[in-house]
Chains A and B, each alone.
Chain A
Amino acid sequence: MARMKFLCDAERCIECNGCVTACKNENEVPWGVNRRRVVTINDGVIGAEKSISVACMHCSDAPCMAVCPVDCFYRTDDGVVLHDKDLCIGCGYCFYACPFGAPQFPQAGAFGLRGKMDKCTFCAGGPEADRSEAEFKKYGRNRLSEGKLPACAEMCSTKALLGGDGDVISDIYRERVARRGNKGAEAWGWGSAYGQPPKAATSAPAGGKS
Chain B
Amino acid sequence: MGRVLLLVAAIGIAGCMEVEQANSGRQSGQSVKRDTPAWNSEPLANGPTWKQGDRGSWEEQIKKRQLVQNESVRIGN
Q: Which residues of A contact B (CB under 8 A)?
A: 1-2, 71-74, 76-78, 82, 84, 86-87, 89, 108-111, 113, 115, 124-131, 134, 142, 144-149, 153-154, 159, 162-165, 168-169, 172, 175-176, 179
Contact = CB atoms under 8 A, between A and B. Distances in A.
Which residue, of B26, B66, B71, has the highest number of chain A Cβ atoms within 10 A? B66
Nearest to B67: A168
A113 B70 CA distance: 44
Interface size class of B (residues with CB under 8 A): 35 or more
A156 to B, nearest CB: 8
A74 B32 contact: yes
5 contacts: A76-B37, A110-B13, A130-B40, A146-B47, A147-B47
Chief secondary structure at chain B's binding surface: loop
B23 A147 contact: no
Contact of A146 (B22, B48, B59, B69): B48
Given A110-B17, A113-B17, A127-B32, A145 B38 contact: yes
Contacts of B17: 109-111, 113
Nearest to B13: A110
B48 A129 contact: no
Contact of B62 (A113, A127, A142, A164): A164
Interface string B47-75: 11110000100110111011101111000
Given A146-B48, A159-B71, 5 more contacts: A87-B32, A110-B16, A111-B16, A144-B38, A148-B47
Contact of A142 (B21, B34, B38, B61): B38
Nearest to B48: A147
B35 A127 contact: yes
Nearest to B70: A172
A86 B24 contact: yes
Contact of A131 (B18, B19, B41, B61): B41
